[in-house]
Amino acid sequence: MGPRRFTNAFSQPFAPSSAAKEKPKKHHFHSVKVHVMAAKPRAMSKVQSELSLRSKIEGDDDGGDDLPRFRHSRDDSGLRTPPRKGSTSRRSSNSGMSSAPSTPPGGFGQSPGGRQRLLQISRHSPVDPKTKLAKIPKLGKNQTLNSLISDAHEYTGFIAGGTRSLNMEVWYAACTRAGNTEKGKRKANQDAYFTEDVLGGNPHLHLFGVFDGHGVYGHLVSHFVRDSILHHIGSKNKHCNEASAASILNLLSTAVSKTSTALKSSSLNTSFSGCTGTIAVVDSKQKQIYTCNVGDSRIVLGRGKKATADVLELTVDHDPSVGAERRRIETAGGRVVDFGGIHRVCTQTQNLPGLAMSRSFGDDVAASVGVICSPDTTKRPYGNDDRFLVLGSDGIFDFVSNQVISSATSDAMKKKKDPQFVAQALVADATRKWQRNDKNYVDDITALVVFLNAHPGKVAV
């Protein structure tokens, strides 16, 4: 999208874009009531007072529409249930439903050995740990920015000051906000992310990822994919110790492939549900950035000596209308249909599933007509003039341009702000722009901000 007007995000309220309102993407046509997986909360911290804004959000329920009918039946938990005798399921009764667990060995939030990796992984979804249901209290008329972003810090990934890597070379933070349904009610957050320092025991490797779920059970899929990728990368992997370009890229591609296979054999219902995945590995010793991308989440790099950094997109959105992506879908018997300027993948006979991307995890119906889970991987060196990375779901990039991201982040770094401040500011800006575009609907929004070359110069590692 084109550049948008930007007012200083850190000294005054965010201004809406002067450009015409653009219709945001919704990955599927259906919105339904969902549950979310429990998450380990973090301690609350005080919000920066200079970020105060007002929120008009009220309500704690999620509305929903009827589910699309497909060959798989499903229960309220989001798990596949075996088809009835005589049904026409693509998964025949001879093959049976997989007995594989729906989570990687060790379960959600744990390594294969059972060790919870809370120091390296941020696991935040808006849930009540007791009921495992969305816990979004009603908000009053006068609220701070924290209320605009979410109900409490433990559900947004807030860590005061952000986190510095063990070798002090990178400084990072994340902020995620659960969206609003078409009825204006707060919903379950289908976005998930991870951060992991000292990847595979290598103090110079730093792992970051953002996953954007969509469909009825997108929240379950995004959390499954996030945890499964970490499981397949492993806490001690020889590829991480070698740290060669070929080994790192192979590690990422293999983790994506194995995760896709695990998802297909899991008990999760992915007929009309799936997620994106965009991952970055920063090698702060060899000064390399590796990326791995499936779908339309995005990674951008801020670089150069200008007051406002130049922006380089390190990933390419997988748009079904583009070249080889469209040809693959049409060859597989699918159609790419333009719905109001948004290209969606549909079957020959129905305008379903209406997926707005050409690659994803899950999405069984879309996969039957050419949507794949093969990632694009890249590597590039970075130098002293490369300043920051921003990983985000399309909740950020649908309304916040690269120019705005660069201006906000560059200004914050000049003023010695921390990456947590920047992540919150970007999410708040996106939230306001979503609300101005649509009175009710707001997508889930996640920003993960990484400052490069962040060593304070006190200790050499």
pLDDT tens for 290-327 read 999 999 999 999 999 999 999 999 999 999 999 999 99
- Structure token pair of residue 430: 């996106």
Most confident region among 38-52, 116-130, 289-303 by mean pLDDT: 289-303
133-146 tens-digit pLDDT: 433 333 345 544 44
Residues sharing a CB contact under 8 Å with residue 172, sequence separation 6 or more, in sequence order: 162, 163, 165, 195, 206, 208, 419, 448, 449, 450, 451
- 451 neighbors 387 (Cβ within 8 angstroms): yes
Contacts of 434 (CB under 8 A, 6+ apart): 24, 179, 395, 398, 399, 441, 442, 443, 445
pLDDT confidence band for 243 (50 / 70 / 90): confident
Of 270, 269, 274, 353, residue with least CA distance to 81: 269
Quickly state the pLDDT bin for 73 (edges 50, 70, 90). Answer: very low
CB distance 167 to 204 below 8 Å = yes
Summarised one tens digit per residue, pLDDT across range 334-351 is 999 999 999 999 999 999
Residues 6 or more apart whose CB falls under 8 angstroms from that of 62 comprise 33, 34, 134, 181, 185, 186, 187, 188
Q: What's the pLDDT at 95?
A: 29
Contact 413, 388 (CB under 8 A): yes
**What's domain 52-67+98-318+357-451's architecture?**
4-Layer Sandwich (3.60)
Q: Which of 452, 446, 457, 382 is nearest to 410 (CA)?
A: 452
Contacts of 306 (CB under 8 A, 6+ apart): none
Q: What is the pLDDT of residue 235?
A: 58
pLDDT class of 152 with cuts at 50, 70, 90: low
